[in-house]
Structures are given as C-alpha cells and as structure tokens.
Amino acid sequence: MTTVAAAVANALIAGVNKAGTTSLFVTLAGHPDIAPASVKETRYFLPARWGRPLEPRSVYEAYWAGAGPAPVRLEATPGYFSGGPDLVAAVRRVCGAPKIVVVLREPVARLVSYFTFQQMRLRLPATMTLTEYLARADALSAADFRDPEHEVWFGARGGMYADALPDWTGEFGADVGVFFFEDLVGDPTATVARVAGFLGVDPARLPTDGLGSENRTAGFRNPVLQRVALGINDRFEPFLRRHHGLKERLRSAYLRVNGRAVRTTVTPAERAAAAERFVAPNARLARQLRALGVADLPEWLST
C-alpha cells in the first residue's frame, strides 16, 4: 500500500452513514497491523465537500501521533462518500494511494435509520413524520446541500449511491472496495475478514470477539439529559475511543437512567413511497457494480 507520508491515513472507510461503519472501524482497530485514528471520524476532508479549504496537514497527522509502526493507518468518516470530486481530489492529494472502503446499505432502511438518528440527536422534532422530512428535503437544491447546515436533510439523497460511486472509482480504481451492510450483519466474521484482506492485513489476527454493535440509535426520556450526554460524548470521544470498555459501561449506565426504545413510526405507505425514489438509482448502481466486477450483490440490487 502506497502513501505520500506515513503520518496520514492510507486506508479510509469513506461511507456510508448508518451502514455499520463504526462497528467495522472498532473491529479493524483491534488488528495489530492497523493504527486507528484517535477519533473514528476525523472529518478532515469534509471542508472540501462544502467548498472550503482544508486545515493544515499537521492537523491530520496528529490523529496518528504515537501510533507506532503499524503499516495501515485507518480512519472512518462516512460523510466523505457523497463529498464530490473536490473531496476525492483532496484525499488523493493528501493521502496518495489509499485503500477506500465503502459500505452500502439498502437505501430505504438507511434513510429510516438516518432520519431516526437525527431525531435522537435532537436535530429534528420528535413529532416529525418521514413524509414531512422528505418534503422538506426535496425542497432543497443541490446548491443548498453545499451548506453543512442542510446535511440533516440529506437522508434520501445520501442513498443515491450511483451518483457518488463513480467519483471514487474513477479516481482510485481497484483501490476502492465495495462491501454491504447486509453482509456485515448476516456474516460479520467473513465480511470483516474480506475487508481486512482488502486492506492487506492478515484476517486471522483480527479480534476474536467478533463485530460489536456500535453507534446504536437509542431513544431517550429527558431531552435535557440527552443534550448534555451528547455534548460529553462529542467532547471526550478520543479518550472514550481508546477506552472502549469504559465507554460501553458509561453508555449502559446512561441508558438505564434516560434510555427508552426508539419510538419513530414509519408507516408501510411511507416506506413504499420512499422505495419508489430509489428504483432507478439502484438499477444504475447495480450496473456500475457489475462493471467493476462486483458480482455477489445483495437482494435489493438483484431484483
């Protein structure tokens, strides 16, 4: 694997949101030949998505300060996937020839998960329906989505994978590996092993405890406590990422106090209406993947 400098990532999980990328990152981070960034989402290249300059290279290098000699340096910012040609070019310029991992998920399920997640992050009203959400999102133009303030409405457009994939494959070719959330859930051991092999490390040296369930969307009782907890989590993510067991214990304790089952209700009619908008994009994506030699497609791309 080739890099411009050893101090930056040479492997990026570039997408997509709500497709198991956190669990994948945490599992891969346990491999002795992989040095993870101090935070999962460095978001270093996201300014290019919004037409803004990147921070100095030294900021990116700092995410691997003291990482040691591991040959693979990994980060995972799923917002990169839809970042457009400028973001892809920035990755090339800074990282050289990294491996790009993309995990795709059936877009209606991903949309519902994304919508629910935004509600639980207090970015959307708890009473908003999916129909109302999509109406607001559809009123925004492509230019509007160049503003990060509108990313909360990107749930449906973020599932138009065929719009973004050519940016990555056109630039990085065979260094882009496409995997599927459904495989990650259905056969996590084999799927993570395939990702490890793609990154050039021995799958036999992966952690033996398997793929965890990270970044799970959970409901809450008290919105004030939820806002405080989100702030603490965001502020101390580097420390908590290094002390995963402590993070899980704190999360469990918090959920006992303020957690509850997610109550977002999406009707069958809303799911059917959402599915219609993905029929043509999914067909286009299937053609793209077959042209890349990806033959074993999930059911949502095979029908």
**What is the per-residue pLDDT across 69-97, written as a single tens digit (0 to 9) for each?**
999 999 999 999 999 999 999 999 999 99
Q: Is 41 helix (H, G, I), strand (E, B) or coil?
A: coil
Q: Which residue would you say has higher pLDDT here, 302 or 228?
A: 302
Nearest-angstrom CA–CA distance, 37 and 23 = 14
Nearest-angstrom CA–CA distance, 165 and 32 = 30
pLDDT, residue 208, reads 86
User: Which domains are seen in the chain, by residue range?
Assistant: 2-107+157-211+278-301 (3.40.50.300)
C-beta neighbour count of 256 within 10 angstroms:
8
Burial class (CB in 10 A: 0-12, 13-18, 19+), 14: buried
The tens digit of pLDDT for each residue in 245-291 reads 666 666 566 556 555 555 668 999 999 999 999 999 999 999 999 99
The pTM score is: 0.85
User: Is 152's pLDDT higher than 90?
Assistant: yes
Nearest-angstrom CA–CA distance, 54 and 48 = 7
- Strand partners for 180: 104
User: Is 223's pLDDT higher than 80?
Assistant: no
The tens digit of pLDDT for each residue in 90-144 reads 999 999 999 999 999 999 999 999 999 898 888 999 899 999 999 999 999 999 9
First-residue to last-residue Cα distance in the chain: 36
